[in-house]
Amino acid sequence: MAGDRIIDLQHVSKRFGDKTVLEDINLYIRKGEFITLLGPSGCGKTTTLRLIAGFLAPDEGEILLDGKDISAIPPYKRPFNTVFQRYALFPHLDVYDNIAFGLKLQKVPTDEIDRRVRRVLKMVSMTDYEERDVDSLSGGQQQRVAIARALVNQPKILLLDEPLAALDLKMRKDMQIELKEMHRELGITFIYVTHDQEEALTLSDTIVVMNEGKIQQIGTPTDIYNEPVNSFVADFIGESNILNATMVRDRLVSFIGHDFPCVDEGFGEGVPVDVVVRPEDIYFTTNPARCQFRAKVNSCTFKGVHYEMYVDTDNGFELMIQDYDPYEVGSEVMLYIEPDDIQVMHKERTCNTFEGKMVDATHVELLGGTFECLPQEGLSAGDAVTAEVDFDKVDLLDHQEEGVLAGEVHFLLYKGDHYHLTILTEDGDHLWVDTDDIWDKGDLVGVDIAPKDLKITRRNEA
């Protein structure tokens, strides 16, 4: 259905210096849809929006509008308008002149400008504010003027760059409803950028989850929430229990020391996988026949609508559970999970794999550092090798200078009984570490690997 695609990004890449911010982005946007680019800061979502708006040009790939490449068209000729993150209302113009700015440039007759400005002001409930100085408006009012200024030009696409980020929670909720309403009334395409997963789930027809310059998943809010494709998406969208698991056979998966019936097939037998169980999908029962595992309630916090509880399972895993009824801290409870509430995902990797080079018989160079290894037979200095290290065999040290490599905790994931960390080394490489110790995002760490834990094999130069 190429016909209803309004925007098509094909193999788009963007680099700033030697840092790749977008890598091979393929994405199409349908006419009239509300699409959200969602991800943590630095994931490339704003860059994608700026590419579409025309403030940046892609290094590779094409951006098509109605099937035609628009890479060479400057932003002032593109039929899109943007609502900027900090609104960017012109401080030397009043509300009326801010909104009329685009129309005056197009030399629209004065009476028509007047009519259209008043109409959009009414739409954003800002009638009677024409003469006001923009600096005298509250954040929410500036927001409305910014939206009006974009919409008055009747763009084909409205681009919104975290428009609600500067508003307080209550106002944000109100504006979400109004934006959704505006989208429905106008019927034009909205491309929305946010790091707020709840906002994305509330507003969007389609969500594009991005991380580190790559698209992780594209889908409807329900798809993304119920069937995340990897642990990043599962962790980023909503609350979740992400656990290491093994596929016993089709429709049976083992985790937290128990076997659970599930609905997934085709993973193979005995294959390591990740599972996601949403906290609201773990149920309490008093019927021993239904009970799949037992646990002890560790903490219970009232969250308004529901209670959030942490339980320690009989095999020593910690799970988060949300339920409308509280259970007393310290009490033994029986729990079960429905088969279709277990989301099974392929593991992206099961151990660290690096390419390296032998320095001498007992040293190998990888990730920009030289590690000691066990004496390697049949390998001589300069040989290209592949080194493998299990996640739990990487040692993290408190001080960067104590390790062979220096790095930073980039991303962390709690897996019920341990943390799975992504470490970003100084050279920009990633390695993954399982640890019981508690680290925070952004912690600076030293990395070391014991010689016996490095598995080295010759790499074929083919």
> Applying CB under 8 A, which residues contact another protein?
53, 55, 74-77, 80-82, 84-86, 88-92, 101-102, 105-106, 149-150, 153
**Closer to another protein by Cβ: residue 88 or 361:** 88
Min separation Cβ 101 and another protein, Å: 5
**Closer to another protein by Cβ: residue 46 or 352:** 46
**Closer to another protein by Cβ: residue 101 or 336:** 101
Query: Strands across the sheet with 307-313, in order?
Result: 282-285, 332-337, 293-302, 307-313, 318-323
Min separation Cβ 86 and another protein, Å: 6
Query: Which SS3 state, helix, strand or coil, does residue 105 take?
Result: helix
**Closer to another protein by Cβ: residue 93 or 171:** 93
**Closer to another protein by Cβ: residue 80 or 236:** 80
Min separation Cβ 262 and another protein, Å: 48
Please report the DSSP string for 344-396 in residue order: EEE-S-SSEEEEEEEEETTEEEETTEEEE-PPPTT--TT-EEEEEE-GGGEEE
What's the distance, Cα to Cα, between the start and end of the chain in Å?
A: 41
- Which DSSP letter does residue 441 get? T
Min separation Cβ 48 and another protein, Å: 16
The whole-angstrom distance between residue 284's C-alpha and the CA centroid of its chain comes to 31
| Residue (of 116, 165, 123) closest to 140 by Cα position | 165
Min separation Cβ 113 and another protein, Å: 13
**Closer to another protein by Cβ: residue 73 or 359:** 73
Residues 285/335, Cβ–Cβ less than 8 Å: yes
> Residue 394 is which amino acid?
V
Residue with tokens 């399982």: 434
Residue with tokens 């800002």: 126
C-beta atoms surrounding 441 within 10 Å: 12
Q: Which two tokens stand for residue 259?
A: 């076997």
Min separation Cβ 55 and another protein, Å: 6
**Closer to another protein by Cβ: residue 92 or 170:** 92
